[in-house]
Amino acid sequence: MAHCPGRWSATGLLVFTGCLLSTCSPVLPVNPSSVTLSPDQQALVITSGDPAIPDRFTLKHLPTESAIAPGLYFRPKRFGLVRVSPDGRLAAFSTVDHHTLVGLLDLATMATREIDVITEGEVLTFHWAPDGHLFVYDYLPANGYHRVRGYDVQSSERLVVPRTEHRVSSHLTFEQWGSQPREVIVGMREQHGDEPRTITVNLIASTQLAPLLKPRQ
C-alpha cells in the first residue's frame, strides 16, 4: 500500500494517539470501592478491584507506641471511625482507647501515619477536602469542649484553629470548606449560649501556636 506524503495511515494515527495518551495521561490507581468497619470493629474491611490490596487491616497492624508522644502506648479496644479520601488513596481512621489514635492508612502500601493522640477523648467525624489534600476532624477531648483539628496530607502538618479565634469555653464544630486552601467555616457556641454562630478561619500548623502562659504563683 502506497503512503501519500503528508498523510497518516489509520494504523499510524492510532499508534501515535496511543503514545500521546500513555505519555500525557497519568495512570490512575485502582481505587478501593469502600472501606468499612467490621461488625466487631476489630478491623477495617477493604473492598477493592486490585487483588494486591489486602481485604482487612486489623488492630494488630497498628503501632504499639506513639511516635508523637514517645513512652505512650496504645491498647485499642476497637476501631472508631473511618473515612476514605475522595481519590480513594487514603483512609483516615480513629481507635477507641484511653489514648485515641488518629491515623492515616495508605490503601496501596498499607502503611500508616500517626496523626494525633487524644487522651480520654474521641473523634466524632472526619471531613475530607474535595481535592483530598487535607482533612479535618471534630473531636471531644477530656475537658468536654468540642474542638476541630486537621491534617495536610502533602506537607504532613498537623493543623489547628488559632487560639485567637475562640475562647477556651467555646464549642467548635466543622461546618464546611472555605474558598481558600486551609480555610474552613466553623460553628462556634459558648457553653451556656443558645445562639451558635459561624466564623471563617484559616487553619495553622500546630507548631505555630504560641505556648500557653503559665498562671502566676
State the sign of the Cα–Cα–Cα–Cα dihedral 6, 7, 12, 16.
Answer: positive
Find residue 5's DSSP bridge partners: none
What's the distance, CA 157 to chain centroid? 11
The pLDDT value given to residue 214: 45
- Provide the pLDDT for residue 21: 35
pLDDT for res 18:
40
The predicted pLDDT at position 9 comes to: 45
Q: Dig out the grid coordinates for 192 from the structure.
A: 451556656
Provide the 10 A C-beta neighbour count for residue 54. 13
Per-residue pLDDT for the chain (217 aa), expressed as one digit of tens each? 444 444 444 444 333 334 333 334 333 444 546 899 999 999 999 998 888 889 999 999 999 999 999 999 999 999 999 999 999 999 999 999 999 999 999 999 999 999 999 999 999 999 999 999 999 999 999 988 899 999 999 999 999 999 776 677 789 999 999 999 999 999 998 866 667 789 999 999 998 865 544 444 4
